[in-house]
Amino acid sequence: MSDDMTDDDGNSDVSVQETRTEWKAPTSQEELDRIIASRVSRIQRRYADYDSLKEKAARADALDSELASDKDKAVRAAQEQTRAEVLSTTTPRLVRAEFRAAAKGVLSNEQLDSLLEDVDLNRFVTDKGDVDEERIAKKISALVPPPAEETPKFPDLGGGRRGTNSTATNMNQLIRQKAGLG
């Protein structure tokens, strides 16, 4: 980090360093309003020419497209068409894979296949061509019933009456039966 301090406009100023080290909280609403107004005006000055630069860029793009040769235009059109074809074939596969990953352990394969048959997979793609994982997660969670409140089940401690399948009447006979001796 450099030793000299710069303000938001990129101007070096020693007073900025002094101001930042000796900062005090505003004591009145008017002082706070003045500080906010000065900050807003600095930001507005910084981006004052944004609209003109945006307009110049648009004109440059328009001029570029006018001056492009027929061959360049044909190449661009072919590239756009190829990109659209590739996206139209790969996007459904990507969305299907995302659905499978999101539904893992939540839906059975049969439920997921049934869902994917009825869903328009292109709805789960952003304008840029990326898979919208949040929408997929919302769709999966909407299909899954909320988990039921499980009451804790007390473990069986082995007490109580038990039925037996054997004809043994005492412990020695039971041991011999289990050992296969009698």
User: Is 65 domain-assigned?
Assistant: no
Burial of 9 per CB tally in 10 Å (0-12, 13-18, 19+): exposed
Q: Are residues 39 and 86 in the same domain?
A: no
Q: Identify the domain containing residue 119 by its residue range.
A: 80-143
pLDDT number for residue 4: 45
Q: Give the side-chain half-sphere CA count within 13 A for 30.
A: 0
pLDDT number for residue 164: 57
User: Is 14 domain-assigned?
Assistant: yes
Which helix (H) or strand (E) covers residue 156, if one does?
none
pLDDT number for residue 177: 83
User: Is 129 domain-assigned?
Assistant: yes
pLDDT number for residue 122: 82
Q: Are residues 84 and 139 in the same domain?
A: yes
User: Is 84 domain-assigned?
Assistant: yes
User: Is 85 domain-assigned?
Assistant: yes
Q: Which tokens sit at 76?
A: 């661009």
pLDDT number for residue 56: 92
User: Is 171 domain-assigned?
Assistant: no
Question: Which DSSP state fits 123?
Answer: G
Q: With a cut of 70, list the residues of the chain below it in pLDDT.
A: 1-21, 146-152, 156-168, 182
Structural domain count, the chain = 2
Q: Are residues 137 and 84 in the same domain?
A: yes
User: Is 71 domain-assigned?
Assistant: no
